[in-house]
Amino acid sequence: SIPLGFFGGIGAASKKGILVKGSNYLEALNDVKYVVFDKTGTLTKGVFEVDSVYPVNGYSEEEIIKFAAYAETHSNHPIADSIRKAFGDKIKEELIQDYNEIAGHGISIVVDGKEILAGNDKLMQKEKVDFYRNNEIGTIVYVAYDKQFVGSIAISDQIKADSYSAIQTLKRIGIKKTVMLTGDSKVVGKRVGELLEVDEVHAELLPQNKVEEIEKLDASKNAKDKILFVGDGINDTPVLARADVGMAMGGLGSDAAIEAADIVIMTDEPSKIATAISLAKRTRRIVW
């Protein structure tokens, strides 16, 4: 027989903007003792803005933004929106000959016969571009034209209003450890982690590295304690599937993440994580 309380729990959750895809996930939430977050779009708004542009080798700020905007033409990454917005001008789509988005790295594109690269330091290293590191605080997008480094762009994101209190609440309701995983730089990861008082931060991770972090945590914990992963991006689908419970942000989140998740937070608020856990605990109490 199906315990009625679970239906009650799913209904109560949906009234709070939390979509639970099955009663087994509500049951599993009861045993969650580790909460692992993605940074961008999950704990931060994922709405980036260009702060400064650093051209080199005789290029202008406008040219750097133009190269990057062409590269980001087809990307759904929040970084891409900020760069296209800063460009403001029209992209001549007919000039784009080849387009390649490299997960956790950035973009490679061919425009009018020349390759443009826009992405992080890992992308520059991978493509053997000789570049200067930009140590500004922020997410840095390095830009290369025809394999020559032409400059970098510093962009910033903001922490969501309820991220700090969400983490405090999780600690209060018995979560043993909070962990933040990010593909972003160590500087940005460390700063956000400190501001939010997350117990552990792992930065510069590729999607497969995020899965490895979950596996390490899985191997080190008690068998009955469960891991919840909360993410938003297309890159997060492997971790959403690997964690005991996968939760996605439903508003800004990618369709792939929403589909891969067991639970979806429709309002994008991290505070709903603790709401869901508390609800699961109340639901279990009234099941007979």
Which residues are marked as active site? 38
DSSP character for 93?
G
- State which of positions 48-107 bind ligand ADP (CB under 6 A): 72, 75, 77, 79-80, 104-107
- Cβ of residue 166: shortest distance to ligand ADP, in angstroms? 17
Tell which residue, 101, 19, 38, has the closest CA to residue 240: 38
Residue 189 makes contact with Mg ion by CB under 5 A: no
- Cβ of residue 78: shortest distance to ligand ADP, in angstroms? 8
Q: How would you label 109-140 residue by residue, b for 16+ Cβ within 10 Å and e otherwise?
A: bebeeebbbbbbbbbbeebebebeebeeebbb
Tell which residue, 116, 78, 76, has the closest CA to residue 97: 116
- What 185-191 contacts at long range (C-beta under 8 Å, 24+ apart), as own/partner pairs, is 185/120, 185/121, 185/139, 185/140, 187/135, 187/137, 188/39, 188/137, 188/138, 188/139, 189/39, 191/137
Amino acid at the residue 13: A
Among 127, 184, 213, 268, binds ligand ADP (CB under 6 A): 184
- State which of positions 109-148 bind ligand ADP (CB under 6 A): 118-120, 139, 141
Tell which residue, 285, 255, 278, 249, has the closest CA to residue 40: 249
Amino acid at the residue 152: S
- Cβ of residue 182: shortest distance to ligand ADP, in angstroms? 4
Among 35, 38, 64, 124, binds ligand ADP (CB under 6 A): 38
Residue 38 makes contact with Mg ion by CB under 5 A: yes
- State which of positions 39-68 bind Mg ion (CB under 5 A): 40-41
Residue 95 CA to residue 82 CA, distance in Å, equals 21
Q: Is 83 exposed, middle or buried (0-12, 13-18, 19+ CB in 10 A)?
A: buried
Q: How many CA atoms lie within 13 A of 148 on its CB side?
A: 9
Nearer to ligand ADP, 29 or 38 (CB): 38
- Cβ of residue 233: shortest distance to Mg ion, in angstroms? 4
Show the binding pattern over residues 232-251: x = contacts ligand ADP (CB under 6 A), - = does not: -x-x----------------
Residue 218 CA to residue 34 CA, distance in Å, equals 10
Q: Which two tokens stand for residue 182?
A: 């990010």
- Cβ of residue 188: shortest distance to ligand ADP, in angstroms? 8
Contact region with Mg ion (CB under 5 A), list: 18-26, 138-146, 201-209, 231-239: 231-239
Nearer to ligand ADP, 23 or 42 (CB): 42
Among 9, 151, 183, 193, binds ligand ADP (CB under 6 A): 183
Q: Which residues bind ligand ADP (CB under 6 A)?
A: 38-41, 72, 75, 77, 79-80, 104-107, 118-120, 139, 141, 182-184, 233, 235
Q: Which residues bind Mg ion (CB under 5 A)?
A: 38, 40-41, 232-233
